[in-house]
Amino acid sequence: MGRAESSSYFVGDIMAKHDSDNFLLYIPVKKHKEYEIKKDNVILIFHHDKPVEKFMRWLIKKPYSSDIELDAMGSRVWELINGQNTVYDVGQQLIKLYGKSCEPVYDRLILYIRYLIKKGWISFERGNQNKEEEI
């Protein structure tokens, strides 16, 4: 489980750079930097300031900014994505925080990470692939 060649561990158009890479050792990094934490939940804030968005704001009276509030588990994942934790580390922390209620943790985590990468809110660093024996 956790090998990059497993079809359930593809992340959008991202796949391990090398066939032998373990995706669980990849390090997610936040690309979307504007967020705040209220009542233990993360709120992602988006400003609509591109020319097309400005036109749409004018046309349909759309607000200058919008936000998305993540649920409790999504907020914990967002907080754990710090540029140092691997996907495996994030999953282990979720198990510590939520116990059996988050099982199957890696299947759920991979789906959520796929969503975040598809939206362009995170990216990946390859991570140290020599740690594989520890997992």
The length of the chain in residues reads 135
**Residues 107-118: tens digit of each pLDDT:** 999 999 999 999
Q: Does a cis peptide bond (omega within 30 degrees of 0) precede residue 104?
A: yes
**Residues 7-52: tens digit of each pLDDT:** 334 444 454 455 567 788 889 999 988 889 998 899 998 887 888 8
User: Could you give the percent of the chain with pLDDT greater than 70?
Assistant: 81
What is 11-79 written as a DSSP string? BTTB--SSTT-BGGG-EEEE----EEEETTEEEEEEE--SHHHHHHHHHHT--SEEEEE--HHHHHHHH
Check pLDDT > 60 for residue 6: no
Q: Domain ranges in the chain?
A: 7-32+71-128
Average pLDDT over residues 74-83: 93
Residue 115: predicted pLDDT: 92
